[in-house]
Structures are given as structure tokens and as C-alpha cells.
Chains A and B, each alone.
Chain A
């Protein structure tokens, strides 16, 4: 059903638009039936907090400060936090560095933050959430060891947030969340017609593919790091060019679009992710089930078409998803593949090859993670594998989901020489 009561909005910065977003959040958090999956603790770790958070204070406070949990203590047990997905742009101006940790802990003026961060604080305060997490300010950007410690935490950072705000219309932190929009241009067309009876009725003409072309296949979703942020967060509030949009584990909603009863189809992969993983008994068997393996390959295929500024981040930016699968399957992660489904998860190819962008080793040649271009998974038709795994050896750093130093695989197979 089209939500005509919202047509008077002039832009999502208005309090009524944020009120609507808050309604979505409240409904999602309090509905025990329809939104049961959004509130499940399966994917979350109750009481878990990131290493650092940004304390934005009470409503009206002019300062923010960095809260380092190990030094400043955990927030009180009821405290919640929100996360931000955004594009870094070319030259981010404000970063957490080894040299400014103490300054940022002491407190800083909110009005000196980049516009997207300031707008994010406005949203968090409307949501009555006192803490926020922004990667540029919560990971020490000139410390390799901090980066290596924090990057694998993304699975928990996003899964435990109340809501992830996505600055999907901005190309950098100065782009902000809010947009001036003439409401008239957003209103769906209205026609009067009597196609089925003598009685004339009004019909709205709405763009039912809006989600698809503006969100799912939009440039924001093509960012490699954003991929897992969106997949792992329980709720996402998008600030699009034209409207605000809501996505949780139960539904999608939009400011000038559809209510839940006729919301566009929820993304298949995300739906399957929750359904398959939470119903899985793989953890006991140690063998990844076929439907989870297929889901993994779907995610790999989607993720591989995303753009990473640094190709060496290939495994890092997917490690949160790997950790989630690992938790529910107890399988062994091998450079983007799973030991119990090694052959199946090797089965992909590159449709549009690119030059290898880096000579730095990040994965063995038989893993999709070694490839720069988008990969296509093999079709899930009646497939028989003709290779037998004889031996697998691999060495990883402290976190096997991000750091593979070498890997060898011995196969018994049938071969034939060829030339080109």
C-alpha cells in the first residue's frame, strides 16, 4: 500500500522523516512476531562492545569524545551503539592516529566533524542512542597492528549495532546524509481508472524496482568493504539521494514507497543467510551442508564484483562473513574456501579477466581470493567432481580469515597437455 501521508515531507532532514525512521526502528525492536529474526541474539554477542566507541553525549551536548573500552570501561549495560557505512573519499580529513588518541579521548567539538559524521550524530540522537562507531575514528589508522586486530572484529561490530546508517548518496565524509528534495518529484503518479468495474478508482504508479536500481545495484553496494557491513548489520537505514529507506531482517520499507505488506522482495542471500545458518546443524557434524555451501558461493560471486581500493583487502573485507559461517559450521577456513567443501568452493572462473594488480601473495592460485576480477560460480546443475584431495597444507597468521601466508594442495586428477 502506498503511504500517502508522507507526501508533505520536504526532505529527510526534517524531523518528520526522522520520526518515520524512528518508528521503523521502534516497530522492529518491539514486534515479537514479525520482526523476531531482527531481534534474535543468534548472530549477536550480548554485552559485546567494540574496542573503541564515540560517545556523543546527551542530546544537546556540543562535544564528542573517544571512549576506549579498556581504559574508560564499558558503557552501562543498557547502552547501545550505531554504526556508519560510508565512502572514505580521496583525502579523509579526520582520522584516529597514534598521536591524537589522547586528544580525541579528551573531547572535541561536534561541529568540527565532517558533515556525514555530524548528520549521523543527529540520527543517533533521534534514535536515543548515545554511542556510535565510525571506522576512521575507532581504528588507529597509522597502526598496522591495530588494523590487523580490528579488521577481523567487523563481524561483531556490525552484528551488534542497533542500526547501521548508510550514507549511500555521498562519495566522501563531507557529503552528508540529508538532501533537499522537492516532494512533488518523488510522488508517484496518480491515475483514475475503472479497469475492473464501473466504479472509478485511484491508482498510484510507483517504481517497484527502486530498491534494485538505487540500492542493490547502486554504486554504494559495489564497495568491497560495504558488502559485509550491509550483510551483517541487523538493520540498515539508507540515506539515498531521494529518500530514506529501511532494511531489517524482516522487511524493506521506504519513505515514498511501499509499506511492509507489499514491500519489495527481501534480498535472497540475506534472507537465506539467517535462515540457513540459524537452522544449521553443521556445527555438530563438521560438514558444511550443501545449501550453506551454495549460499557461500552466491555471496562470493556478489562480493567479487565489488570494488576494493586495495586489492590486498580481499580476504579482510570478507572476513566478518567468513567468521559467521565458521561459527555456525565449525568448518575450517582455507583462504576463502571451506575444508569440508574444498572442491565445490574452488569451482569458479573469471568471466572478464584483468591484469593482476599486485604481486603480493594473498591467497593460493586455486582460490577465488587470488583473483582480481569478478568471479562466477559454476552452475549448481548435476555436477560431479573428478578430483580427489590427497593433501592440504596451509599456514595462516593469527587470524585465518584474513591472513594466509602459503597453501599447498595435492590432488589426484586426470590431465592432458595443451598449448595455445
Chain B
């Protein structure tokens, strides 16, 4: 999986469905958007000095979103649909992702 131009491995990703038309193929295919949903804060180590690395979250969780081609509601703007969930644990990946995220308003159906 390539996120923000970088191939990140290993990560834990959880597609919501598999594609019934393609045997064992996940629905998460092609281009999509990862939306940072939550972070798990680092465990506290009260008796140890906190380094820069320890300030990083323990993990990040993302919703994997695909753009909806035809929105039945016909409302204006780009709409997204959740198609999966992603967890990232590796500190280097977490650091990279946090530096490369950009804020956006996302409409979900």
C-alpha cells in the first residue's frame, strides 16, 4: 500500500468488504483517501525523561475512503464512502504520516 507516495509496510488494514465479483479481491483497490480518525496516545513513563520519539502516538487509525461517483442525493460537492480501516504502528511511518497530512472537510455518505 502506498500512502502519500511512500510504500508503508507492514501496516494493518481492514477492508470493509471483499469484492464479490473478484475472488478474494479486497474492495480497497486503486486510488483512495486515508482520513486520520484517531490516535492512541503514548503510554506514560513517569520516571523516564520523555524523548521526541516517545511523544509520538503509539498508533494511528485511518478510515479508508473512496470517492463516490454518483451520489443519489445529488447534493453539491465531493462525497466519500468508507471502504476500510487502517492502523499504523511503526514510529517512522507515524512520523512521516503526521508530517504529510493535510486538513480537509470530508463529506461522508
Binary interface profile of A, 348-374, with partner B (CB < 8 Å = 1, else 0)?
A: 111101111000000011100011110
Chain A residues with CB below 8 A from B107, complex form: 408-410
User: From A376, which residue of chain B is reached at the shortest CB distance?
Assistant: B14
Does chain A have a CB within 8 A of B95?
no
Chain A positions 372-420 with a Cβ under 8 Å from a chain B Cβ: 372-373, 378-379, 381-387, 390, 406-420
Chain B residues with CB below 8 A from A419, complex form: 1-2, 30-32
Does chain A have a CB within 8 A of B54?
no
Binary interface profile of A, 338-349, with partner B (CB < 8 Å = 1, else 0)?
A: 000001001111
User: From B100, which residue of chain A is reached at the shortest CB distance?
Assistant: A416
- Known A383-B38, A386-B36, A420-B28; contact A415-B14, beta-carbon cutoff 8 A: no
Binary interface profile of B, 82-108, with partner A (CB < 8 Å = 1, else 0)?
A: 111100000000000100111111111
- Known A387-B35, A408-B108; contact A382-B103, beta-carbon cutoff 8 A: no
- Known A416-B100, A420-B2; contact A350-B85, beta-carbon cutoff 8 A: yes
Complex Cα distance, B16 from A378, in Å, reads 15
Chain B residues with CB below 8 A from A408, complex form: 73, 75, 79, 107-109
Q: B: which residues have CB within 8 A of A?
A: 1-4, 14-20, 26-41, 43, 57-58, 61, 63-65, 72-73, 75, 79, 81-85, 97, 100-109
Complex Cα distance, B27 from A137, in Å, reads 42
Q: Which of A366, A382, A383, A415 contacts B82 (CB 8 A)?
A: A366
Q: Are A365 and B100 in contact (CB under 8 A)?
A: no
Chain B CB within 10 A, most for which of A347, A409, A412, A420: A420
User: From A367, which residue of chain B is reached at the shortest CB distance?
Assistant: B82
Q: Which of A343, A354, A382, A409 contacts B17 (CB 8 A)?
A: A354
Q: Are B15 and A353 in contact (CB under 8 A)?
A: yes
Q: Are B101 and A415 in contact (CB under 8 A)?
A: yes
Q: Are A385 and B38 in contact (CB under 8 A)?
A: yes
Chain A residues with CB below 8 A from B16, complex form: 349-350, 353, 365, 370-371
7 tightest Cβ-Cβ pairs between the two chains A and B? A355-B20, A349-B85, A414-B101, A382-B41, A365-B82, A349-B14, A418-B3
Q: Which of B17, B36, B97 contacts A371 (CB 8 A)?
A: B17
In whole Å, how far is B104's beta carbon from the nearest beta carbon of chain A?
Answer: 5
Complex Cα distance, B105 from A370, in Å, reads 23
Q: Are B109 and A413 in contact (CB under 8 A)?
A: no
Known: A411-B108, A413-B36, A415-B104. 13 other contacts (CB 8 A): A353-B27, A378-B38, A381-B58, A408-B73, A408-B107, A412-B104, A412-B106, A415-B36, A416-B4, A416-B33, A416-B36, A416-B101, A417-B34
User: From A391, which residue of chain B is reached at the shortest CB distance?
Assistant: B107
Complex Cα distance, B20 from A387, in Å, reads 31
In whole Å, how far is B54's beta carbon from the nearest beta carbon of chain A?
Answer: 14
Chain A residues with CB below 8 A from B4, complex form: 416-418
User: From B82, which residue of chain A is reached at the shortest CB distance?
Assistant: A365
Q: Are A390 and B105 in contact (CB under 8 A)?
A: yes
In whole Å, how far is A312's beta carbon from the nearest beta carbon of chain B?
Answer: 16
User: From B66, which residue of chain A is reached at the shortest CB distance?
Assistant: A365
Complex Cα distance, B23 from A376, in Å, reads 24
Q: Are A386 and B39 in contact (CB under 8 A)?
A: yes
Chain B CB within 10 A, most for which of A365, A383, A384, A409: A365
Chain B residues with CB below 8 A from A410, complex form: 105-108
Complex Cα distance, B39 from A279, in Å, reads 31
Chain B CB within 10 A, most for which of A382, A409, A416, A420: A416
User: From B96, which residue of chain A is reached at the shortest CB distance?
Assistant: A416
In whole Å, how far is A372's beta carbon from the nearest beta carbon of chain B?
Answer: 7
Q: Are B109 and A416 in contact (CB under 8 A)?
A: no
Complex Cα distance, B86 from A161, in Å, reads 44
- Known A351-B14, A417-B4; contact A412-B105, beta-carbon cutoff 8 A: yes
Complex Cα distance, B95 from A24, in Å, reads 60
Q: Are B109 and A418 in contact (CB under 8 A)?
A: no
Q: Which of B2, B35, B41, B101 contacts A411 (CB 8 A)?
A: B35
